[in-house]
Amino acid sequence: MNYSSLNYNSSAVSFLEAVRKGLAPDRGLYYPESIPKLPKDFIKNIGKYSNHEIALTVIKPFVGSDIPEARLKEIIEDTLNFDFPLIPINNSIASLELFQGPTLAFKDVGARFMARCLAYANEIEEQKKLTILVATSGDTGGAVADGFYKVKGIDVVILYPKGKVSEVQEKQLTTLGENITALEVDGTFDDCQDMVKTAFIDPELTNEVALTSANSINIARWLSQMFYYFIAYKNRPKSNNKLVVSVPSGNFGNLCAGLVAHKMGLPITHFIASTNVNDTVPSYLETGNYNPKKSVSTISNAMDVGDPSNFIRIQKLFNNDFHKLKKVVSGYSFTDNETKKALKEIYNNSHYIADPHGAVSYLGLKAYLEDQNNEDFYGIFFETAHPIKFAPTVESTLKIKLDPPPQLKNIMEKTKLSLPINDYQSLRNFLLER
Ligand SMILES: *Cc1c(COP(=O)(O)O)cnc(C)c1O
């Protein structure tokens, strides 16, 4: 399988080359040259396959011959080494928990898969040392740090906004050491993101240091998120009902992966793009006008994105046909107050503790199902983070104390290691002088 740039000004590359590059030289996102159809029998018999078998079948055509099948199988077994339980909330709605991985957010799958693909690329061919440069508002940094920890030939440099990530998130970013460096930026997430973007287009820097990114623009992170949708479909309890999936969205990598699964033939009837007040996509779906905005801070901060990078891939999937897109995707956005009310509603009615992202996802699903007024639907909302990652909001809203999961047992006592930086020049010097 080859990947071409959506700016149409760079040559097509193979899977591993696209993973190493991240973004095409013309700054466009890579996009597969075709989307394969899965055999009907595979979908029909999906209940008989393990998560590992499903993931291998689904991703194999996208990897092509770049990674031998036996090795790809190992990569998948190693990536998906935790569960994705489906927890019923009531008769027609369930939560699919995607946060049981090492850093307690759904980004673990993409980061682990990408890290293992890159480790393989480094093994087969002596490569220039690769530096992964990422800006994080919280969850990406931890997942990338954990996924790439001690991977040979790769250094990770993470920029995070000082005082603007949760305590758990900061510990996850700053306590690993080895090939992981955390840079604490005196500024906002947008400042971190701007510095990263400047670094990628700084020719003197990129001549010296091989830089790539590890956010969902990278095809290995993006496409491996398809697994969730197949797992949701396999585990749906009412197989006669039409399946609707709600995805709490920020950069829209996750939802876009679901739409690839749909195009491959996965019978999910409808997708809900659920957002907080950063509602660029829901308002596009309403009006047909795409107006990116500056992001606003909310209690579901991993979705505070005003101009989602993957939107262009979603448009491409539907050949830029707004009406076709609207038939498959609906959008809803919610305020922080509505999100807190939903946290309480889910807890009081079903004794389930959601996190703010899951609560937004639940609200989107509920809004859609109410609009349909149809009993034939079964709805699954994605729960993308463990509530402990947002403990201050969840505990004060529900008036409870959360139990820390095993993943956090050791980390809170570890010592934070970070380097303070405050402008692009200091980032540049740091990257050049190591
Ligand atoms: C990153 C993240 C999201 C948003 O996912 P996108 O693929 O960027 O749309 C939602 N919830 C949580 C907890 C996240 O960390």
Quickly state the pLDDT bin for 25 (edges 50, 70, 90).
confident
pLDDT digits (tens, 9 = 90+) for 233-257: 999 997 788 999 999 999 999 999 9
Q: Which of 21, 107, 171, 366 is flagged as catalytic? A: 107
Q: Is a pLDDT exceeding 90 seen at residue 167?
A: no
Give the chain's domains with CATH numbers: 84-105+222-406 (3.40.50.1100)
Q: How confident is the model at residue 325 (pLDDT cuts 50, 70, 90)?
A: very high
Residue 99 Cα: closest atom of ligand 1:
13
pLDDT band for position 311 (cuts 50, 70, 90): very high
pLDDT confidence of 375, banded at 50, 70, 90? confident
Residue pLDDT, tens place only, 35-56: 999 999 999 999 999 999 999 9
Which atom of ligand 1 lies nearest, measured to the CA of 139? 15
Active site residue 107: yes
Task: Specify the residue with its C-alpha closest to ligand 1, atom 1.
Answer: 302
Distance 111 CA to ligand 1 centre (A): 13
CB-defined site of ligand 1, < 6 Å: 105, 107, 139, 216, 248-254, 302-303, 357, 384-385
- The answer for residues whose C-beta is within 8 angstroms of residue 359's C-beta and 6 or more apart is 300, 339, 340, 342, 343, 346
The atom number, within ligand 1, closest to the CA of 216 reads 7
400-424 per-residue burial string, b: 16 or more CB within 10 A, e: under 16: eeeeeeebbeebeeeeeebeebeeb
pLDDT, one tens digit per residue, over 404-426 is 999 888 888 899 999 999 899 99
pTM: 0.95
> Ligand 1: distance of its center to the CA of 93 in Å?
21
pLDDT at 295: 85
CA atoms within 13 A on the CB side of 356: 27
Structure confidence at residue 376 (pLDDT): 87
Edge-to-edge strand order for the sheet containing 130-135? 210-212, 130-135, 154-161, 180-185, 419-421
Span 64-68, average pLDDT: 97
Residue 93, pLDDT above cutoff 80: yes
Pocket perturbation via mutation, ligand 1, pick of 104, 109, 139, 226 by most ligand atoms within 8 A of CB: 139
Give tens-digit pLDDT for 326-365.
999 999 999 999 999 999 999 999 999 999 999 999 999 9
Instruction: Please say if the pLDDT value at position 145 is more than 90.
Output: yes
